[in-house]
């Protein structure tokens, strides 16, 4: 490995990325990709009808979207880069090499988007102003920029699941238009629009009706918006589901019901189906019986879609395992093509920041800990979430005596029974050292430290 290992044993590295990334995706989809179009739609309606009440509503909604996207949204976007670079720098480095020009364009568009959202909100004019038509046009450009940034990132996410023809020709075009790209884009775009409609509905109970349209008129409009995007959302979801590679489909059930999260995610899967039906029913109620729709019914869809989107991101990240980049880079940070070399020489010899370079009779436990840090800590902890000690204890029972030979044999073949786990990358001596380290965890539990705790000098001896 060319990088020191960052590790949060109490939290799990994957959970660190998940918290930041899901927060960003929820804000981005609801308040930027879907939110800006709905604001522009409201403003344009006000302009065409010369009705200042709709303009006031558009500005109120935009104020909330503007504050959240330019603070939490922007910070969590940067946070994705920071956390991903810490946890799996090999994956980020590989993606940057493949998508260098695409990401360069995305950064330019993102900066443009930031400038446009500042310009759009701060230059808001009342109905009747001579520049109002230009302001609506500015909002359309902002909506387009928000969508383009998502469209480029979705291509990269699709590539991580299915590299397509890129494995043969290595071209940027093949990487961009991977088999999962267009189906996922067709899913996420209407999802963002539905989410934006649900989010706008959630704000209505908290708005005073002074200077705004009648509440039932607002609910009818937002209900029609949400319902109109529901059919494209369902069709996009079906297309995306059918585009998922076969190996990922096999991971689907495990992704939903894995280990400590099993009960919660199983329930959330059922809830997601209920959420979809509920959104349609509430949208219909907003259209036909708006005066009978209460505050709880208006807030519930936004909460439900946020939970469903969190589940989707969890499943999407999990089902591409054992790879971080399908067929190219395993989730442990090792390239598939480097496995023969690692199997022959061992991973310690090629790890710049490892504390030891080979396994000896004197350093077995130290070497085993280093192997765990290098090969396992991307996904597992010692004492925290997805603890390897708890996993082994579930197999053996905590009171039983753990056998290093059995554990070593299991490590060698674990990927056959658990297809979402990458094969062990090291040689036989390192596998046995890892087994010895895992066995001693039964009686001597110490949280695994990362480079942020030990420093680079503490890792290299």
| CA pair distance 7, 378, nearest whole angstrom | 8
**Which is more confident, 271 or 127?**
127
CB within 8 A of 3, min separation 6: which ones? 89, 90, 352, 353
Cβ proximity of 446 and 382 under 8 Å = yes
- The mean pLDDT value of the chain amounts to 90
Tens of pLDDT, residues 277-297:
888 999 999 999 999 999 999
| Between 315 and 2, the higher pLDDT residue | 315
Q: Which of 103-107, 251-255, 320-324 has the highest mean pLDDT?
A: 103-107
Which of these, 225, 234, 228, lies nearest to 199 by C-alpha position?
A: 225
Structure tokens at 83: 């956390």
Q: What pLDDT, on a 0 to 100 scale, did the predictor assign at position 159?
A: 97
- Tell whether the model's pLDDT for residue 259 goes beyond 50: no
Integer angstrom CA distances of residue 454 from 6, 451, 461: 10, 5, 12
* Residue found by looking up tokens 């674990």 in the block: 414
325 has pLDDT over 70: yes
What is the structure's pLDDT at 393? 84
**So what's the pLDDT on residue 83?**
93
Tell me how far apart the alpha carbons of residues 185 and 165 are, in angstroms, rounded to a whole number. 19
Domains and CATH numbers, the chain: 13-330 (1.20.1630), 336-459 (no CATH)
pLDDT digits (tens, 9 = 90+) for 75-124: 999 999 999 999 999 999 999 999 999 999 999 999 999 999 999 999 99
The full DSSP string for 191-239 is HHHHHHHHHHHHHGGGS--TTS--HHHHHHHHHHHHHHHHHHHHHHHHH
For residues 142-146, average pLDDT: 97
Nearest to 5 by CA among 386, 341, 381, 324: 381
pTM (global) more than 0.85: yes
Phi, psi angle pair for 415, to nearest 5°: -70, -15
Q: What is the per-residue pLDDT for 82?
A: 93
Average pLDDT over residues 6-11: 90
pLDDT at 400 over 50: yes
pLDDT at 94: 94
Section 208-219 average pLDDT: 90
Phi and psi, residue 427, nearest 5° = -90, 180
| Average pLDDT of the segment spanning 68-72 | 96
């Amino acid at each position: 490995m060319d990088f020191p290992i960052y590790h949060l044993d109490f939290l799990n590295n994957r959970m660190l990325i998940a918290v930041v990334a899901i927060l960003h995706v929820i804000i981005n989809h609801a308040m930027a990709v879907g939110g800006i179009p709905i604001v522009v739609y409201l403003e344009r309606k006000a302009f065409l009808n010369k009705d200042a009440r709709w303009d006031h509503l558009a500005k109120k909604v935009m104020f909330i979207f503007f504050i959240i996207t330019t603070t939490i949204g922007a910070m969590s976007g940067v946070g994705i880069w920071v956390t991903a670079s810490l946890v799996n720098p090999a994956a980020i480095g590989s993606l940057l090499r493949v998508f260098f020009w695409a990401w360069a364009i995305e950064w330019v568009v993102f900066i443009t988007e930031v400038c446009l959202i500042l310009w759009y909100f701060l230059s808001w004019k009342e109905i009747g102003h001579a520049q109002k038509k230009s302001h609506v046009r500015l909002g359309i450009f902002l909506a387009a920029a928000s969508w383009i940034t998502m469209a480029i990132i979705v291509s990269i996410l699709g590539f991580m699941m299915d590299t397509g023809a890129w494995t043969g020709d290595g071209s940027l075009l093949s990487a961009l238009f991977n088999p999962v790209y267009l189906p996922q884009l067709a899913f996420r775009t209407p999802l963002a629009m539905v989410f934006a409609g649900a989010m706008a509905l959630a704000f209505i109970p908290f708005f005073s009706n002074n200077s705004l349209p009648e509440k039932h008129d607002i609910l009818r409009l937002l209900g029609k918006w949400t319902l109109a995007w529901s059919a494209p959302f369902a069709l996009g979801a079906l297309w995306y589901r059918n585009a998922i590679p076969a190996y990922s489909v096999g991971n689907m059930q495990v992704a939903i019901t894995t280990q400590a999260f099993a009960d919660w995610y199983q329930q959330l899967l059922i809830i997601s189906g209920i959420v979809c039906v509920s959104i349609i029913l509430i949208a219909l109620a907003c259209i036909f019986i708006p005066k009978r729709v209460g505050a709880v019914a208006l807030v519930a869809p936004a909460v439900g879609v946020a939970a469903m989107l969190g589940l989707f991101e969890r499943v999407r990240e999990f089902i591409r395992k054992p790879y971080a980049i399908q067929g190219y880079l395993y989730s442990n940070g090792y390239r598939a093509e480097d496995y023969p070399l690692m199997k022959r020489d061992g991973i310690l010899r090629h790890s710049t920041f490892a504390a030891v370079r080979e396994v000896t009779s004197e350093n077995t436990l130290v070497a085993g800990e280093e192997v765990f840090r290098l090969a396992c800590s991307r996904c597992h902890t010692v004492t925290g979430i997805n603890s390897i000690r708890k996993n082994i204890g579930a197999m053996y029972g905590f009171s039983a005596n753990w056998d290093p030979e059995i554990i070593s044999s299991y490590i060698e073949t674990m990927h056959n029974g658990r297809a979402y786990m990458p094969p062990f990358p090291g040689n036989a001596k390192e596998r046995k050292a890892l087994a010895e380290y895992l066995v001693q965890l039964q009686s001597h539990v110490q949280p695994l430290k990362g480079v942020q705790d030990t420093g680079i000098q503490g890792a290299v001896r």
